A and B are shown apart, each in its own frame.
Chain A
Amino acid sequence: DIQMTQSPSTLSTSVGDRVTITCRASQSISTWLAWYQQKPGKAPKLLIYEASTLHSGVPSRFSGSGSGTQFTLTISSLQPDDFATYYCQQYNSFPYSFGQGTKLEIK
């Protein structure tokens, strides 16, 4: 089974900051990686798929990159609405798996 590891687990940031979250897969998953955003009490929302393709309606300040085992999610200029928890997920092979999540907190 493929293990997904995100870092950091928590990030204290400020509005306007450039933020980078890293996701590492225990084996190569090509670009079969998605990123989700989840706010407290809400269902996750798809942000990015195939490692770098922005889902419809997602602001362009979000971007994704990587392939193989190393991936990043970048928010170019953090907005108040972006304080949330972010998860990566591999869908290269079953069983699918999520990272443990990265929580963005207000500094």
Chain B
Amino acid sequence: VQLVESGGLVVPPGGSLRLSCAASGFKIDDYAMHWVRQPPGKGLEWVSLITWDGVSTYYADSVKGRFTISRDNNKHSLFLQMNSLRSEDTALYYCAKDVSGSGGMADYWGQGTLVTVSS
């Protein structure tokens, strides 16, 4: 199992960014997928989950209405569209594979991509 995140950048407050996660070594369309973030020097914060078929999505209150999770199973990819970015969104963003198709714990994680929101 390999998960490789990309797309992290320095972006000004109010800006937008799209993160990607390339999955390999497993059949992505069997599993739900997560985004989890970690501000520098701080703890983990769960951000979002999408079910195996992309039909159901769930968000942390802190990002609801601003972030959108999506997936393309044909391209073995997971995405996170981030709009109206704030300084508190600065973090290392991890993509993680769930153990089931509908949601649970994450058994494999990528190495993360760094998003910095700063003017």
A89 touches B105 (CB 8 A): yes
Residues of chain B having any CB pair with chain A under 8 Å: 36, 43-46, 49, 58-61, 94, 99, 103-107, 109-112
A21 to B49, CA, bound (A): 27
Q: How far is the CB of A104 from chain B (nearest CB, A)?
A: 15
Contact with B along A59-82 (1 / 0, CB 8 A): 000000000000000000000000
Count residues of chain A with CB under 8 A from any CB of chain B. 24
Report Cα–Cα, A44/B107, bound state, in Å. Answer: 9
Q: Is A46 interfacial (CB-CB < 8 Å)?
A: yes
Are B43's CB and A46's CB within 8 A? no
- Give the distance in Å from the alpha carbon of A53 to the alpha carbon of B45 in the complex: 23
Given contacts A34-B105, A43-B109, A43-B111, contact A1 B43 (CB under 8 A): no
Instruction: Considering the complex, give the chain B residue whose CB is closest to the CB of A95.
Output: B60
Inter-chain contact A101/B44, CB cutoff 8 Å: yes
Quick one: which of A43, A45, A91, A101 contacts B43, CB cutoff 8 A? A101
Residues of A within 8 A of B (CB): 1, 32, 34, 36, 38, 42-46, 49, 55, 85, 87, 89, 91, 94-101
- A43-B46 CB under 8 A given contacts A55-B107, A94-B58, A95-B61: no
Selected contact of B44 from candidates A1, A46, A87, A95, CB within 8 Å? A87
Task: Report the nearest B residue to A49, measured CB to CB.
Answer: B105
7 closest residue pairs by CB, A with B: A43-B109, A34-B105, A94-B58, A96-B46, A101-B43, A98-B44, A95-B60
User: Distance (Å) between the CB of A7 and the closest chain B CB?
Assistant: 14
Q: Is the CB of B107 within 8 A of A98?
A: no
State how many angstroms separate the Cβ of B5 from the closest Cβ of chain A.
10
Q: Hey, which chain B residues are within 8 Å of A101, CB to CB? A: 43-44
Chain A residue, CB-CB nearest to B62: A95
B43/A87 in contact, CB under 8 A: yes
24 A-B Cβ contacts within 8 A?
A: A32-B104, A42-B111, A43-B109, A43-B110, A44-B44, A44-B94, A44-B106, A45-B109, A46-B107, A49-B99, A49-B104, A87-B44, A89-B46, A89-B105, A91-B103, A91-B104, A95-B46, A95-B60, A95-B61, A96-B49, A96-B58, A98-B44, A98-B46, A100-B43
